[in-house]
Amino acid sequence: MTVRIVIAVLVVLGWLGVSALGGPTFGKLADVSSNDQATFLPATAESTLAGEWVSEFSESSQIPAIVVADFDEEFAEQDIGDFAPLAEDIGEVDGVDQVIGPIPSEDMLAVQYIALINTDDADIGDTVEAIRALVAPGGDPDHREGPFASTQLHVTGPAGLSADLASAFAGIDGLLLIVALSVVLVILVIVYRSVLLPLLVMLTSIAALCAAVLVVYYMAAADWIQLNGQSQGILAILVIGAATDYALLLVARHREELNGAESVWHAIKTAWKGSFGAITASASTVAIALLCLLVSDLNSNRSLGPIAATGIVFAWLAALTMLPALLYCFGRAAFWPAKPKPAASASTGVWSRIASAVEKRPRKVWVVTALLLMLGAAWLPTLKADGVAQSDVILGASDAKSGQAVLSDHFDAGSGSPTSVIVPEASADQALAILEDAEGVGSATLTAANGSPAGIPPANAEPKVQDGKVYIQATLEYVADSEEAETTVLELREELHALDDDILVGGTTATAIDSNATAQRDLVTIIPLVLVVVLLILIVLLRAVLLPVILVSATVLSFGTAMGTAALVFNHVFKFPGADPSVPLYGFVFLVALGIDYTIFLMTRAREETLQIGTRAGVLKSLAVTGGVITSAGVVLAATFAALAVIPLMFMIQLAFIVAFGVLIDTLIVRTLLIPGLVLHIGPAVWWPFTKRTEPAGLEEAERSAEEFAPDDAAPRRAL
């Protein structure tokens, strides 16, 4: 016994040591994380290749911040000189390489400055905040007493939007974790009616997250993955939710064993053996499904696969090592004040009654349930997932959004986000002519060595030639992420490619086009891949073919219902302008991978029972015995994903709703009504083609009823 205690203590201390290393690493993730557009780009798309060429035309990597102000009354041309001092002061801000402007609007009601920020030597967020501090009402008094005395200046453009995006993600390390852990703790206290046990489960989840963060940090530092705030937030929620779910299953089995055993060691050993299969099958399904994202050409999708899979691995490992060690060390005291006692009887209560109700009319139950799910799924086509304006991604007040509105009112709407055209030098004049004549293009200029327009008086600088290429910047008349801008860029690509196949068209609009196209390809590539992977895993796990097909089909129907309902909520309640094309993909991967878990927990138990008592009785007993713990697990996972809504980004709120609502549908409807009803209606044939190996020979199931397996049933309880 002493050896067991020593080993358990060493296991706990080992995990605490990992937590001590991983905890502080949360603060270091910012060093290897980036929220700029590069982490979300399609890896091999034309816009990405164009962006790589653009960096060749500058001695440093630059991103523009646009300082803009509008006035109530027109200013005179001779007043423009009064705006010049601000350009000089902006140019002195650390991180700013060059300032272009002041540039007055044609209506003489606004002025803008383009500040090029050096991303090699400066942090975008810090530089933008320094510029905002300079031009704020409480900034330099000279500016407030001059032409901008009664005018608000905004900092927008790609740098401004990037800074506001990073600010929105700033809550991930603090607020998101606090909210998620608090919600889970409250649920665990209600479920366990205990003080200490919820803390042990929470400690296990935190240790798993710390270990995952430590590994992800070094993966990002080695440039194996591109980490961003989006992936970081999903990692935290996924690990907390999954580790807690696995812990719920192990603890439920442990409590069950303690009810009939004097020895805590025997109880935890039996619980570990009994729950290992279900937990491992669940973790394997989720991790492998997430790794399917590696086939995506979007950097953000491809990186999320290994990041999230790493989190699942550590959630699995902590639940099967640290938690059993903690439970052994604390013994029955872990359940205080409701400590289990030997020979105490377990109660399945409401779940026995639900099982009996399903048993009476299985066909009616599954048909009505399926029709209701189909009704929700019918709204799926109304989901607008073809992209949203970058300024709409950030919810609530944003200085960059306000600045974009001013730019749209007074300048060519594409100002500050030019379309980048990389052209062989021999085709430069023809390409420039095409751009200048194109409808929707406000202006087009070649780029000089210092990044300024070439051939513009008084400097009349020569265009820079880099490896036989020149760089043309085209300013569109439309907002860069608008439908009109995308149409213009697609037409430009067609004309320019007809001129020369080597011409590359990039920039903000082109990136949005390529990202959307890649996301659409991912939907038709990754979704079938995930379905095949999950189906194969279920076939191996359940040793049947028909039942896995039924389970996957039910999960897909559940996904359709979640997405259809989300479309109604997004369009008519939240009134979102649309959704990112990756929303359906992420929703599918998480709902199928996580939603199938609860069916795995149910049907692995049902198969074990079927070997002894037959399919009908087996599924009824499985539903009755596992109902409480699986429902608790589903509620926990839904609550943790709902916590993503504290991040003020449209993508996060949409993903939070889809996954939380979808998990509840899987837990409360699909696993409780649809699957049991289908299995009872079909009968032993669900195990085809191995029915004879699964169903006990000569068993007369029709003579059995759910009442045989009520709470006072003497049959030994088996693992989930």
> How many domains does the chain fold into?
3
d(CA 128, CA 117) in angstroms, rounded, equals 9
Strands 110-118 and 96-104: antiparallel
What is the distance between the alpha carbons of residues 151 and 86, in angstroms, rounded to a whole number? 14
Cis peptide before 458 (omega within 30 of 0): yes
Looking at 467, 492, 513, which one is the last position of a domain? 513
Residue 549 and residue 661 in one domain = yes
Residue 604 in any domain: the answer is yes
Contact (Cβ atoms closer than 8 angstroms) between residue 501 and residue 423: no
The three-class DSSP label of residue 472 is strand
Backbone angles phi, psi at 131, to 5 degrees: -65, -45
Q: Residue 110's beta-bridge partner residues?
A: 70
710 lies in a domain? no
Structural domain boundaries, residue 237: 1-32+193-339
CA distances to 409, 666, 694 from 523, in Å: 37, 22, 37
708: its two tokens: 């045989």
Q: Quote the crossing angle between the two packed helices 650-665 and 582-613, to the nearest 10°.
A: 20
Strands (E) in 43-140, as ranges, are 62-70, 96-104, 110-118
The Cα–Cα gap between 623 and 710 comes to: 11
Does 670 lie in the same domain as 685?
yes
| Distances, alpha carbon 428 to alpha carbons 56, 315, 432, in Å | 17, 56, 6
Contacts for 342 with CB less than 8 Å, ≥ 6 apart: 258, 259, 260, 261, 262
Cis peptide before 689 (omega within 30 of 0): yes
Q: Is residue 155 part of a domain?
A: yes
Rounded (10°) CA dihedral 176, 177, 183, 188: 160
Same domain assignment for residues 334 and 355: no
Instruction: Judge whether 414 and 168 are in contact, CB under 8 Å.
Output: no
Is residue 383 helix, strand or coil?
Answer: coil
Tokens representing 99 are 């300032």
646, 166 in Cβ contact below 8 A? no
State whether 291 and 428 are in the same domain: no
Quote the CA–CA distance of 14 and 645 in Å, as a whole number. Answer: 34
Q: What is the spatial distance between Cα 137 and Cα 662, in angstroms, rounded to a whole number?
A: 47
Q: Are residues 137 and 224 in the same domain?
A: no
H-helix or E-strand spanning residue 537: helix 508-542
The span from the CA of 486 to the CA of 517, in Å, is 12
Closest C-alpha among 236, 256, 234 to residue 244: 236
Asked whether residue 385 is assigned to any structural domain, the reply reads no
Distance of CA 344 to the CA centre of its chain: 44
Domain assignment present for residue 601? The answer is yes
- CATH assignment of the domain containing 596: 1.20.1640
640 and 694 co-located in one domain:
yes
Beta-sheet strand order (sheet of 469-476): 441-446, 469-476, 419-424, 504-507
* Contact in structure between 611 and 622 (CB atoms under 8 Å): no
pLDDT at 711: 43
Q: Which residues neighbour 497 within 8 Å (Cβ) at sequence distance 6 or greater?
A: 503
User: What is the DSSP-derived secondary structure letter of residue 580?
Assistant: -
549, 696: one domain: yes
> Would you tell me how many other CB atoms lie within 10 Å of the CB of residue 559?
26
Give the Cα separation of 99 and 96 in Å (integer): 8
Q: Count how many Cα atoms sit within 13 Å of the Cα of residue 319 in the half-sphere of its side chain.
A: 33
Which residues, listed in sequence order, are joined to residue 472 by a DSSP beta bridge?
421, 446
Q: Which two tokens stand for residue 481?
A: 């992420």
CA distance 590 to 572: 24
Q: Which of 232, 190, 216, 188 is nearest to 323 (CA)?
A: 188
453 φ, ψ (degrees, to nearest 5) = -60, 140
Instruction: Classify residue 236: in a domain, yes or no.
Output: yes
* Domain boundary, last residue among 497, 513, 529: 513
198: CATH: 1.20.1640.10
Q: Are 245 and 218 in contact (CB under 8 A)?
A: no
Residue 672 within a domain: yes
> Cα–Cα distance between 228 and 39 in angstroms, integer?
7
Residues in the chain where the model's pLDDT stays below 70: 1, 35-40, 59-60, 138-146, 170-173, 261-262, 339-348, 413-416, 450-451, 457-459, 692-695, 697-720
Rounded Cα distance between 18 and 616, Å, is 46
Contact yes or no for 573/388 (Cβ under 8 A): no
Residue whose pair of structure tokens reads 């910012």 in the numeric block: 30
Q: What are the two backbone dihedrals, phi and then psi, of residue 382, each rounded to the nearest 5 degrees?
A: -85, -5
As a residue count, the chain comes to 720
Q: Are residues 17 and 55 in the same domain?
A: no
Are residues 10 and 76 both part of a single domain?
no
- State the Cα angle at 357 between 351 and 363, rounded to 5°: 125
Whole-angstrom CA distances from 490 to 424, 506, 522 are 20, 11, 21
What integer pLDDT is reported at residue 654 of this predicted model? 92
The reply to whether 719 falls in a domain is no
Question: Are both 225 and 284 inside the same structural domain?
Answer: yes
Pairing verdict, β 469-476 and 441-446: antiparallel
Same domain, 570 and 672: yes
CA distances from 458 to 78, 132, 193, 453, 473 (A): 18, 31, 79, 11, 19
CA-CA distance, 111 to 410, in Å (whole number)?
9
Same domain, 468 and 552: no
> 232 in helix, strand or coil?
helix
CB 98 within 8 A of CB 116: yes
CA distance 573 to 636: 25
290: helix, strand or coil: helix
